[in-house]
């Protein structure tokens, strides 16, 4: 860890705890800052805040009092989940107080370079693939961000022999100043988190921050099949590495004659890749590009792709019971993710879907429901999904209370050779704290069938 002096005796407010806030507060304290932590959860119910208090860090819990900003803070480190229209953040901007996320701290103290991955869909799969390829290639990677441990915690342990592979959300990327990854990846861009960002333009602007500090000495790997990602590339100073699943490129990563290729070299046959789904070829191509730029041999890339079958909750194969295959795609929190999941299978599908109602309809699913023989719905969006199911002519449509109850009902209507797929097309927050909890309940219910 770099022993930086820029925070010594600096008065800093850490706003919002969770894992990132706890780690950031402890790191700043270690760097000699005068740290105050403010979290909405009461101290009596807040073991994280209690732990920081024991370290000698000032803690204020139970509310976000705007008057706290009168204490002369020079910097705020914000939890990514706190929106920028929060009164505390708006008040900070009015006073000219800079606001960052802990990813910025991680970059400042890290001795290791970063490979950073963002996008709307495929971030977790791509991040995992990059990590596995570098690991198999003996490059000593460390994984951080949304997929792993807190970035500023990983950065404290990293040396110049490591590479930190990090998944970054638009929320995190809005709070960077100097963060500059050696390699950045933008998987794809679709409408998402508009309730947080307000507009698609602001969402894309946040994603573009991943390359704002890059120069020609760094690389930006971008989806060449999308105008929005190409537009970001056009305004980047990085060396651009495109990837495409639709056409052969003169350079970058692409598919040609049944091979995945990089800069004119055949790396591996598509038919030998274990990970299902056409959409996953985007993730594979971008991960391969990052691995090749990092000096990983083809043999290591091949070994990973021959054995990698997916990350948990993202088109994860769970079990095969009585010739039925069960897949957990709980991370499909939007329509596009469910479209990609459905496109991955040719067998008859029993789809389990539903969740938080964000006001949208599901007509975009209609062209992809042709293989769906039964639809099991749950959550706030159940009626909307059922309307679409009836319109496409799905004969079996059943509503249940939750995911746990959906599994035995789906099995009841299934036959040998069917795929039973949890791919909700919605966030989980109407019934479950996270999509991980929802997916774990699905997995448990599947194993109960055994």
Is the predicted pLDDT of residue 192 greater than 60, yes or no? Answer: no
The pair of structure tokens assigned to 52 is 């920081």
Q: Which residues of 70-104 are buried (b: 16+ CB within 10 A; e: fewer)?
A: eeebebbbbbbebebeeebbebbeeeebebbbbbb
Is the CB of residue 30 less than 8 Å from the CB of residue 46?
Answer: no
Distance between CA 374 and CA 377 in Å, rounded?
10
Is the CB of residue 301 less than 8 Å from the CB of residue 130?
Answer: no
- Look at strands 324-328 and 316-321 and give their pairing: antiparallel
pLDDT at position 128: 95
Binding residues: 119-125
Placement of tokens 């592979």 in the chain: 165
pLDDT at position 432: 96
pLDDT at position 193: 58
Contacts (Cβ under 8 Å, ≥6 apart) of 275: 125, 283, 284, 305, 308, 309, 310
pLDDT at position 276: 79
Is the CB of residue 185 less than 8 Å from the CB of residue 221?
Answer: yes
H helices of 137-175, where? 151-157, 170-173
Question: Which CATH number is 316-449's, of 3.50.50.60, 3.30.1490.190, 3.40.190.10, 3.90.190.20?
Answer: 3.90.190.20
Is the CB of residue 388 less than 8 Å from the CB of residue 366?
Answer: yes
pLDDT at position 19: 85
Is the predicted pLDDT of residue 196 greater than 80, yes or no? Answer: no
User: What confidence category does residue 315 fall into, taking pLDDT thresholds of 50, 70 and 90?
Assistant: confident
Please provide the average confidence, as pLDDT, over all residues in the chain: 94
- Compute the average pLDDT of residues 86-103: 95
Distance between CA 445 and CA 449 in Å, rounded?
7
Is the predicted pLDDT of residue 26 greater than 70, yes or no? Answer: yes
Is the predicted pLDDT of residue 195 greater than 80, yes or no? Answer: no
Distance between CA 35 and CA 57 in Å, rounded?
6
- Compute the average pLDDT of residues 229-245: 97
Q: Give percent of the chain above pLDDT 70.
A: 98
Distance between CA 241 and CA 222 in Å, rounded?
6
3-state SS of 14-28 is: EECCHHHHHHHHHHH
pTM: 0.82
Placement of tokens 């495409």 in the chain: 244
Higher per-residue confidence, 320 vs 192 = 320
pLDDT at position 191: 64
- Tens of pLDDT, residues 144-189: 987 778 999 999 999 999 999 999 998 899 889 999 999 999 999 9
Binding residues for ATP: 119-125
CATH 3.40.1190.10 fits 103-307, yes or no: yes
The pair of structure tokens assigned to 92 is 């900070």
- Tens of pLDDT, residues 385-428: 999 999 999 999 999 999 999 999 999 999 999 999 999 999 99
Distance between CA 24 and CA 425 in Å, rounded?
33
Q: Where are the domains of the chain?
A: 11-100, 103-307, 316-449
Contacts (Cβ under 8 Å, ≥6 apart) of 353: 338, 375, 376, 377, 378, 381, 385, 422, 423, 424, 425, 426
Any idea which architecture 11-100 has in CATH? 3-Layer(aba) Sandwich (3.40)
Count of CA atoms in the C-beta half-sphere (13 A) of 354: 26
- Compute the average pLDDT of residues 328-342: 93
H/E run at residue 271: none
Give me Rg for the CA atoms of the chain.
Answer: 23
User: What confidence category does residue 30 fall into, taking pLDDT thresholds of 50, 70 and 90?
Assistant: very high
Neighbours of 6 (CB within 10 A): 10
Neighbours of 225 (CB within 10 A): 15
Neighbours of 291 (CB within 10 A): 28
């Amino acid at each position: 860890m770099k022993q930086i002096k820029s925070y010594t005796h600096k008065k800093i407010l850490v706003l919002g705890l969770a894992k990132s806030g706890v780690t950031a507060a402890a790191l700043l304290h270690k760097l000699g800052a005068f740290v105050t932590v403010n979290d909405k959860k009461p101290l009596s119910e807040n073991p994280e805040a209690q732990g920081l208090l024991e370290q000698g860090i000032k803690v204020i819990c139970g509310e976000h009092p705007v008057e706290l900003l009168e204490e002369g803070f020079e910097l705020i480190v914000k939890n990514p989940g706190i929106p920028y229209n929060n009164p505390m953040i708006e008040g900070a901007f009015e006073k000219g107080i800079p606001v960052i996320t802990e990813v910025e701290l991680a970059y400042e103290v890290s001795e290791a370079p970063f490979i950073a991955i963002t996008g709307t869909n495929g971030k977790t799969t791509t991040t995992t693939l990059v990590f596995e390829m570098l690991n198999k290639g003996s490059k000593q990677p460390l994984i951080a961000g949304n997929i792993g441990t807190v970035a500023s915690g990983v950065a404290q342990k990293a040396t110049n022999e490591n590479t930190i592979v990090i998944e970054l959300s638009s929320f995190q990327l809005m709070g960077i100043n100097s963060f500059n990854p050696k390699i950045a990846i933008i998987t794809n861009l679709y409408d998402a988190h508009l309730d947080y960002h307000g507009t698609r333009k602001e969402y894309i602007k946040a994603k573009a921050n991943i390359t704002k500090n890059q120069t020609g000495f760094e690389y930006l790997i971008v989806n060449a099949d999308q105008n929005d990602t190409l537009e970001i590339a056009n305004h980047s100073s990085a060396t651009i590495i495109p990837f495409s699943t639709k056409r052969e490129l003169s350079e970058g990563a692409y598919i040609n004659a049944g091979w995945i290729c990089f800069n004119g070299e055949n790396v591996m046959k598509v038919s030998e890749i274990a990970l299902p789904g056409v959409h996953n070829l985007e993730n594979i191509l971008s991960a391969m590009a990052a691995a090749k730029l990092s000096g990983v041999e083809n043999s290591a890339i091949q070994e990973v792709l021959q054995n990698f079958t997916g990350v948990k909750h993202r088109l994860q194969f769970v079990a095969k019971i009585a010739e039925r295959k069960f897949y957990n795609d709980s991370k499909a929190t939007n329509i596009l993710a469910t479209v990609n999941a459905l496109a991955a299978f040719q067998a008859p599908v029993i789809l389990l879907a539903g969740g938080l109602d964000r006001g949208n309809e599901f007509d975009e699913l209609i062209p992809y429901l042709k293989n769906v023989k039964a639809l099991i719905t749950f959550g706030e969006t159940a009626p909307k999904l059922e309307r679409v199911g009836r319109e496409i002519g799905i004969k079996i449509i059943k509503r249940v209370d939750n995911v746990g109850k959906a599994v035995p009902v789906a099995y009841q209507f299934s036959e040998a050779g069917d795929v039973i797929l949890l791919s909700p097309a919605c966030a989980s927050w109407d019934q479950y704290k996270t999509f991980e909890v929802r997916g774990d309940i699905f997995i448990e219910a599947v194993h109960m069938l055994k």
